[in-house]
Amino acid sequence: MKKLILLATVLFSSVYIFAQQDNRGDNSRQDNQIHTLMGRNHQSNGGYGSFGAGYTIIDGKDAATLTGRAAWIMGHSVALGFAGTGFVNSFTPDVQPDRFINLTGGYGGLLFEPILLPRFPVHLSFPMIAGVGGIAYTSSYKPANSWDYYDTWVEDTQTYLIAEPGVELELNVLKFFRMSFGLSYRFTTDINWIYTGPDVLEGWNAGMSFKFGKF
């Protein structure tokens, strides 16, 4: 895992250098405007807030994610900020009658996001999240003769470190609004449970985000 994280760091450092060079080149042009799908709009340094949703697989089961970000954009080409993600996988019947189990939790940390060719209406960004998270193993029990009553409790919890590099296809819809469609991969430290494997959280995540701000 350390080699993969090192590789991701080198990759995004290279993208950062390229984005800076692209930004310097753009500044030397007479046309220094950001192009959107509905017109051309001049922008300066700024920032954005975003929310989104995604799909992944956790412990071999379908899982949903919800994400949020807040970032400051420097020179149109690099965003620095914070990001957070919550997740929950599907309920699965346990060996005990009327009992269901699932995994839920979240993680958050620093966001580093080089943006490649940001003035084009369709372009790429490369978000990298590094931080810490927590996961809970939960049980839910529903009595056989009850239609709407569930008793839910947490069996165990764990904390972990996470690094999540990704790539996003970003659309400049309006001068203050962007949409992105992305793919990322979670690397985590081991989850030391008897219930699951140590790499239970590692895997791909696909999602989309809505970004609002000054780009």
Compute the distance between CA of residue 199 and CA of residue 72 in angstroms, rounded to an integer: 32
Q: Cβ distance 174 to 36 under 8 Å?
A: yes
The rounded mean pLDDT for the chain is 84
Residue 39: what pLDDT?
59
CB 182 within 8 A of CB 163: no
pLDDT tens-digit profile of 109-168?
Answer: 999 999 999 989 999 999 999 999 999 999 888 766 666 656 788 999 999 999 999 999
Mean pLDDT over 97-114 rounds to 92
Please write down the long-range contacts of 26-33, taking CB distance under 8 Å and 24 or more positions apart: 26/76, 26/119, 32/119, 33/119
pLDDT in tens, 3-19: 445 545 545 554 445 44
CATH code assigned at 183: 2.40.160.20
- Total structural domains within the chain: 1
Its domain, for residue 107, covers 2-214
pTM of the model: 0.78
